[in-house]
Amino acid sequence: MAEPLKHPLAPEERVGYALVGIGKLAEEEILPALEASKRSRLAALVTSDLEDGKRLARRYGLPPEAVYGYDDYDRLADNPGVHAVYIILPNHLHEDYTVRAARMGKHVLCEKPMANSVAEGERMIAACRAAGVKLMIAYRCQYEPHHWAVREMVQQGRLGAVKLVESVHCQVESDPGEWRLKRKEAGGGPLVDIGVYSLNTIRFVLGLEPVEVFAQTYATPDDPRFREVEEQMGWQMRFGNGVLAACLTGYSAFRSSRYRLYAEGGWVGLDPAFDYRGLRLSLGREEGGQQVVEERRFPAPNQFALELDHFARCIQEDLTPFTPGEEGLQDLRLVEALYASARTGRPVRLEAPDKPDAFRGERP
Amino acid sequence: MAEPLKHPLAPEERVGYALVGIGKLAEEEILPALEASKRSRLAALVTSDLEDGKRLARRYGLPPEAVYGYDDYDRLADNPGVHAVYIILPNHLHEDYTVRAARMGKHVLCEKPMANSVAEGERMIAACRAAGVKLMIAYRCQYEPHHWAVREMVQQGRLGAVKLVESVHCQVESDPGEWRLKRKEAGGGPLVDIGVYSLNTIRFVLGLEPVEVFAQTYATPDDPRFREVEEQMGWQMRFGNGVLAACLTGYSAFRSSRYRLYAEGGWVGLDPAFDYRGLRLSLGREEGGQQVVEERRFPAPNQFALELDHFARCIQEDLTPFTPGEEGLQDLRLVEALYASARTGRPVRLEAPDKPDAFRGERP
Amino acid sequence: MAEPLKHPLAPEERVGYALVGIGKLAEEEILPALEASKRSRLAALVTSDLEDGKRLARRYGLPPEAVYGYDDYDRLADNPGVHAVYIILPNHLHEDYTVRAARMGKHVLCEKPMANSVAEGERMIAACRAAGVKLMIAYRCQYEPHHWAVREMVQQGRLGAVKLVESVHCQVESDPGEWRLKRKEAGGGPLVDIGVYSLNTIRFVLGLEPVEVFAQTYATPDDPRFREVEEQMGWQMRFGNGVLAACLTGYSAFRSSRYRLYAEGGWVGLDPAFDYRGLRLSLGREEGGQQVVEERRFPAPNQFALELDHFARCIQEDLTPFTPGEEGLQDLRLVEALYASARTGRPVRLEAPDKPDAFRGERP
Amino acid sequence: MAEPLKHPLAPEERVGYALVGIGKLAEEEILPALEASKRSRLAALVTSDLEDGKRLARRYGLPPEAVYGYDDYDRLADNPGVHAVYIILPNHLHEDYTVRAARMGKHVLCEKPMANSVAEGERMIAACRAAGVKLMIAYRCQYEPHHWAVREMVQQGRLGAVKLVESVHCQVESDPGEWRLKRKEAGGGPLVDIGVYSLNTIRFVLGLEPVEVFAQTYATPDDPRFREVEEQMGWQMRFGNGVLAACLTGYSAFRSSRYRLYAEGGWVGLDPAFDYRGLRLSLGREEGGQQVVEERRFPAPNQFALELDHFARCIQEDLTPFTPGEEGLQDLRLVEALYASARTGRPVRLEAPDKPDAFRGERP
């Protein structure tokens, strides 16, 4: 990863973001991340509760007129301090809000999963391209130093060729009313919400795409949470070079997130891997006949700030983001293949591009 | 697990074992384990190199006449100090040496995998039953306190219901001439030799049997080691209660062995899990809003001695071993199903018994 | 610790700080901490390099007239947006800048060690008292949740009575010209700069004061770094209840910081303990005959922000800070006793107050 | 350390040991260690309970006539199968049983501490020298690979010069009737029994001797356990090269044993350090700007077997043991200095030999 800016830019030199959707993530993570960022600043809030939005705005030094209702979303076009929108809405709304932002000439940072179908994702890409605005999917892990350290170790072959990969991402969702459990809104269950981290990060670390996938799902009968979406999924992926990956995700197991790559000369991985903070990288190897297990500790800047600042730099310097819409679209293709496999009980074969990092842009 | 004997039995009160096959495992592990055991003693060696066998015998205080060539195997019948044979031969020889031991009226402890096919395994069980001798498969982990602690936590529901399981067992085999890489002798690749630990231990910890399995294999083209057997396999298992397990095994990745179970209220597992020594149990849970990750440290007796002594006790007290032939046979059924799945690219469904621990005997 | 504010206060409701001294700590830690704080904001900078100060001000949205030279320090009196000064200067300047701030009616947050002598510390306290302003010494660890968790475990006796304590804080100072290595400016060597963390934190965790101390120092002959101050010190402290503490500090050993308390029923401690981030709490205990070693993981907010916000709350609500001048003064008394012991080769006895937390104010 | 023998010697080629004193240590550790050893065998038992001794003998294949009462101790002279005695008696009996063994021409392995005074230790050395028998003090850690790995890292300067050392060894003694709590029998409290591990191991790892020591002790008033000996001690040692060591020991804190050395470029240590099994070596260093904390895992043979076999080799090859009487005597000198310091409240200065490893013999 490139060295970050040593000093923050002055407020007026930064990229102004409108946050679209003020839930827990926006309030607890994104607003503080904007304070910690170096190239980004809060420029507007879009929310269903104007009063609450104004209270929040006041706390972050934003004038009340920078708070918009959803009905007024298109009025962002007139706010020149807003250079980009950050869409933090339920998945089924991503397409509409992206397309409308593009029409306003605003760049779009969109939460993962990009959308609920490949078709939606393709329309988002097309709309942004047509409008000449940038589109980035918020794959936080691809902008974070622990994950980059794993990727570099792997791609430089420091542990020899990777052979096997495992990953788990699970957590307990206890409220049956949660939008994440509604097929129409979420587009799927734990796979699209949290399993996608395993999917995306393995692709990122290897720089490769799977050529065959297989999935099994399960939902406890009569559990009101899992009427529309799977409770859990186990899936496998085979890559062109023979690497086999085994992944698990679920909504009824204790919050855990990890991955590990097993190579000829050692293993390396993160646990926790996908949390907002506290990531840990460990590594197993041999030295002089002894087994060594080591942890490498990194300075750990705010992950959201890194992500926001990458997109800000891409806007300022006219670069393609490292995780553009195409990167998100590839995950959607895989998600569709995994659900198809689970439904049919058969593996699904996929075309893989013939070069590494086929869907990625400028290195962060 | 039951309390072990406080004191060793006097030599003449112990069960005498003939070791059949004197390779690295016998020499480095089983002979010292017999010294460390409390109910077992070395009674004979069966080897292809009589001179070497006699040198070894002398070091362990065994008279030279207790060393047998393979041609003389059936003469063990006349040695009343030999109560049991421990078969540590390549897999394709297990059936023959078991059947002949049974005919001699000797009890049989046989290394895993029990045999190269379900049919062989069934004949072994039948022969031992007919002869009225006991048959135990050497599933070391099922006699070891760390694994038992995991099993008890899981089965007592101390972390809530288990939902997901992952396991890896891999190592590097570098010699293309190794018998483990010959289909006829080994019966398969890493699955039957080391992957079977994941398979067997997950079944043991859950006390349940899978109802559906799926596998993918891979072998690097032109790698002389993997002409006859797979280089690596990824597989999934679904259990009747919905638990999904994801496993990886391979012969070209750094020596690693682990498993972890993800339950509603925490996770627990071993890493390393299947090594001869140095096992570590760790556990994640929540307490008062804090995440707690803990290691529980156990006295760790010689694993082979525990196993040898369990079988000795079964002989002395006329009990069915915890891992009798039937337990080994179930692994063979699953191995055949996994290879069938890999071959056909389709999941394989299996009948599961309707009670837990269906194939196991007396608790150790 | 009390729950922190859920939301930040609006900028105009916060306590305005003037940072006095713009070195590495101010730039890399305090400025970002002010952004992350909830009750505090940057109100002025006092620096020797006005140009640099203005560049920095611009980046943090501060007008250029809020940047002061040292000659203009007393002009802060006229800036009503400055409620408090945070003194981040070499130790020998603490008294003067504190006394002058008090005269201006500004509250004072002063870096540790409070001063270079008990006499200086007493004058600082007297000046603040006379002026009716608050004085707090910046003992970061006393406002941090890991340290509080240790303190609460200890003081609630959850591991039984504490018996023994150890602590280490060392780092490599390689520049002989560094002010920390000049007696006049620093007042001492590693003891006053980093060893004081061990000293202060042990006192904080136990809530008690030592009754006898002993110290040994060493400086490598001819090492240009250690002509004026010690290279390293080992010291012991005995508390009234018999607790023995053993501490080490030094300026030529690899950056390390830790402490551990050994109680009747277990141990607990931090490693790293005194770093700005990445603290880890671990704990040893017994459960059911097994040894358990556990790590407890906490959300870890910006430590400096917690400290700044505590003082801000004390100003807003007219409370005595948890670490007022008196707390800093007690460390100075102990520092003087330790140097006296090292000089004379004799232990030094001290009066201990007859109540716990004798020098502390409002709980954070 | 030298490579151990690949194969055990035949029983008749081994050194025969008489165990003198059959308590918990002998029964739980030394008897199994003799089974696991390669050059040593059990040749006789000396015990106060002949019946119990004979039962034990039978279990280990020893004839009943090889069991002796203390009154018959001198009859060991007539048993040619006994080459050496291993004295596992309360400390105040070490001298007498050593001197009498020497008179019988038997080599002596004696538990630590060697004796209750320097004078006793000197007489033991003199008696063995006069009789031409070897004397070794059972410093287990000096024959163990984790400790050797630390020593080699330190002495090869792989982390730069060592500057600071800390060590703790404590455990809970709850029975006031225990001989370890009687001054006449034990010669002191936790210092001589467990603290001596810290003392001895730091000397071993550095290969150096302290030039100044200081100690503080404490005993809870009215605690019946600590009427005769200290409850706990904190002590410091300064070595000629300026290394400062801080140590703690006690009989009322949770079983813990560790040490760590802080050098210019990293730290290294064991935790647990002095346990019979399960030792762990960890190491902190920097690499490419990252902090690395690593564990190095070793095969961990039976520690007592390593020690017994070293002495056996010294007997077989006529070598001075690595830890001869002189090594034990130096600890006694330091123990006396530490108690003198605690009594007088003054540091004690000591002469240090002018070469490293001044008191040690043949490397194991």
pLDDT, tens only, B216-275: 999 999 999 999 999 999 999 999 999 999 999 999 999 999 999 999 999 999 999 999
How far CA A359 is from CA of A330, A362, D86, D217, D255, in Å, comes to: 8, 11, 72, 68, 56
Q: Which DSSP string do the residues of D301-345 spell out, in sequence order?
A: --HHHHHHHHHHHHHHHT---SSBHHHHHHHHHHHHHHHHHHHHT
CB B267 within 8 A of CB A254: yes
Of C149, C292, C298, the CB nearest to B296: C292
Half-sphere exposure of D34 toward its Cβ, with a 13 Å CA cutoff?
24
**Residue B4 pLDDT > 80:** no
Cα A160 from Cα A283, distance rounded (Å)? 13
Segment B117-128, tens digit of pLDDT: 999 999 999 999
Tell me, what's the pLDDT at C328?
Answer: 98
Task: Give phi and psi for C102, each to the nearest 5.
Answer: -60, -45
Average pLDDT over residues C276-299: 95
Q: Flag if D287 and A298 touch (Cβ within 8 Å).
A: no
Query: Is the pLDDT at C2 greater than 90, yes or no?
Result: no
Average pLDDT over residues B288-312: 94
With contact defined as beta carbons under 8 Å apart, do A261 and A152 qualify? no
pLDDT confidence of residue D34: 97
Question: Is D80 within 8 Å of chain C by CB?
Answer: no
Average pLDDT over residues D19-43: 97
Whether residue B1 is predicted with pLDDT greater than 90 in this model: the reply is no
Q: Is D109 left (phi over 0), alpha (psi -120 to 50) or beta?
A: beta
Residue C56 forms contact with A (CB below 8 Å): yes
Q: Contact A24/A180 with Cβ under 8 angstroms? A: no
Catalytic residues of A: 112, 197
Interface of D with B in 81-100 (CB under 8 A): none
Q: Tokens 């041609």 appear where?
A: B71
- Written as one letter, the residue type at B11 is P
Pairing, β C84-87 against β C107-110 = parallel
Q: How many CB atoms lie within 10 A of CB B100?
A: 18
Q: Compute the average pLDDT of residues D169-180.
A: 96
Q: Which candidate in C38, C106, C112, C134 is catalytic?
A: C112
- Going by their DSSP bridges, the two strands B84-87 and D252-263 should be labelled as unpaired
Neighbours of B122 (CB within 10 A): 16
Element (H, E) at D270: strand D266-270
Assess whether pLDDT exceeds 90 at residue C37: yes
In this complex, is the C-beta atom of A60 within 8 Å of any C-beta atom belonging to chain C?
yes
Instruction: Look at B294 and C297 and tell me if their CB atoms are within 8 Å.
Output: no
**3-class DSSP assignment, residue B164:** strand
pLDDT of residue D300: 83
DSSP state of A248: E
Evaluate whether D60 touches B61 at the Cβ level (below 8 Å): no
Q: For position A233, what pLDDT does the model report?
A: 98
Question: How many Å apart are CA B235 and CA B168, to the nearest integer?
Answer: 10
Long-range contacts of C226-231 (CB under 8 A, 24+ apart): C226/C181, C226/C189, C226/C251, C227/C181, C228/C181, C228/C182, C228/C183, C229/C180, C229/C181, C229/C182, C229/C183, C229/C186, C229/C188, C229/C189, C229/C190, C230/C188, C230/C189, C230/C190, C230/C191, C230/C342, C231/C189, C231/C190, C231/D163, C231/D242
Amino acid letter for position B60: Y
Best mutation target among D290, D291, D298 (most A Cβ atoms within 10 Å) is D290
Query: In this complex, do B254 and A286 lie within 8 Å of one another by their Cβ atoms?
Result: yes
The pLDDT value recorded for residue C289 is 86
Q: Three-state DSSP class for A88?
A: coil
A292 touches chain D (CB under 8 A): yes
Backbone angles phi, psi at C114, to 5 degrees: -55, -40
- Residue C300 pLDDT > 90: no
Nearest residue on chain C to B291, alpha-carbon basis: C297
Q: Measured between alpha carbons, how far is A174 from C205 in angstroms, rounded to an integer?
A: 38
Element (H, E) at D15: strand D15-20
Tell me if A289 sits within 8 A of A198, measured CB to CB. no
In terms of phi and psi (left: phi > 0; alpha: psi -120 to 50; beta: otherwise), the region of B242 is left
For the question of residue C218 being annotated catalytic, the response is no
Question: Does residue D291 sit at the A interface (CB-CB below 8 Å)?
Answer: yes
Cis peptide before C272 (omega within 30 of 0): yes
CB A205 within 8 A of CB A261: yes
Per-residue pLDDT tens for C125-157? 999 999 999 999 999 999 999 999 999 999 999
Could you report the per-residue pLDDT of A6-26, keeping only the tens digit for each?
889 999 999 999 999 999 999
- Find the length of chain A: 364
Residue A74: how many CB atoms within 10 A of its CB? 13
Q: Which domains does chain B have, with CATH numbers?
A: 11-140 (3.40.50.720), 144-299+325-349 (3.30.360.10)
Which residues are CB-neighbours of D282 under 8 A, at least 6 positions away?
A: D268, D269, D270, D271, D293, D294, D295, D296
Chain B's closest residue to D297, CA to CA, is B278
Residues in CB range of B289: below 8 A, 6 or more apart: none
Question: Is the CB of B300 inside 8 Å of chain D's CB atoms?
Answer: yes
Angle (deg, nearest 10), helices A196-206 and A145-155? 50
Interface test with A, best of C5, C7, C29 (most A CBs within 10 A): C7
Q: How many CB atoms lie within 10 A of CB B65?
A: 10
Integer Cα distance of D325 and B11 in angstroms: 37
Task: Give one DSSP letter per residue of D159-228, joined into a string.
Answer: TB-EEEEEEEEEEE---TT-GGG-HHHHSSSHIIIIIHHHHHHHHHHHT--EEEEEEEEE--TT-GGGSS
For C298, name the nearest residue in chain B, comparing CA atoms only.
Answer: B290
Sequential DSSP letters for A166-230: EEEEEEE---TT-GGG-HHHHSSSHIIIIIHHHHHHHHHHHT--EEEEEEEEE--TT-GGGSSS-
Check if B297 contacts D (Cβ < 8 Å).
Answer: yes
Question: What is the average pLDDT across D232-242?
Answer: 97
User: Which of A162, A191, A199, A216 is the best mutation test for B, with the most CBs of B within 10 A?
Assistant: A216
pLDDT higher than 90, residue D78? yes
Whether the per-residue pLDDT at C161 is higher than 90: the answer is yes
**CA contacts within 13 A on the Cβ side of A270:** 29
Matching residue, tokens 């020893």: D62
Q: Note whether C152 contacts B: Cβ–Cβ < 8 A.
A: no
Distance, CA of B117 to CA of B335 (rounded, Å): 9
Mean pLDDT by 10 residues, chain A (364 residues): 85 97 96 97 98 96 97 98 98 98 98 98 98 98 97 97 98 96 97 98 98 98 97 98 98 98 98 97 94 94 96 98 98 98 97 95 97
- Express each pLDDT in B186-200 by its tens digit: 999 999 999 999 999
Per-residue pLDDT, B157: 96
Task: Tell whether D4 is within 8 A of chain B (Cβ).
Answer: no
Q: Residue D329's Cα: distance from chain center in Å?
A: 12
- Rounded to whole angstroms, the Cα distance separating A259 from A281 reads 10
- Report pLDDT for B51: 96
Please state, in angstroms and rounded to a whole number, the distance separating the CA atoms of residues C295 and C287. 15
CB A181 within 8 A of CB A188: no
d(CA D204, CA D358): 10
Residue for token pair 């991402």: A169
Tell if the CB–CB gap between A216 and B238 is shorter than 8 Å: yes
What's the rounded Cα separation, in Å, for the pair D219 and B217?
A: 67
**SS3 sequence, C78-109?**
HCCCCCEEEECCCHHHHHHHHHHHHHCCCEEE
Tell me whether residues B7 and D56 touch, CB distance under 8 A: yes
pLDDT averaged over every residue in chain C: 97
Ramachandran category for residue A105: left, alpha or beta (phi over 0 → left; psi -120 to 50 → alpha): left
Q: What is the predicted pLDDT for the residue at B6?
A: 85
List active site positions of B: 112, 197
- DSSP annotation of B193 reads I
* Arithmetic mean of pLDDT over chain D: 97
Inter-chain residue contact D7 with B58, CB threshold 8 Å? no
CA distance D236 to B278: 34
**Of chain A residues 246-265, which have a CB less than 8 A from chain B?**
246-248, 250, 252-254, 256, 260, 262-265
pLDDT beyond 80 at B3: no
Chain B residue at shortest CA distance from D56: B7
End-to-end CA distance of chain D: 6
> What is the C-alpha separation between C357 and D76, in angstroms, rounded?
64
Name which of B214, B253, B286 is nearest A163 (Cβ-Cβ): B253
In the predicted structure, residue C31 carries a pLDDT above the cut 80: yes
3-state secondary structure of D53: helix
Does D6 participate in catalysis according to the annotation? no
Cα–chain center distance at C91: 12
CB contact under 8 A, C262 and D247: no
ipTM score for this prediction: 0.97
* Res B14 pLDDT > 90: yes
Q: In whole angstroms, what is the distance from residue D176 CA to residue D173 CA?
A: 8
Q: Token pair 């794993």 is at which residue? A: A150
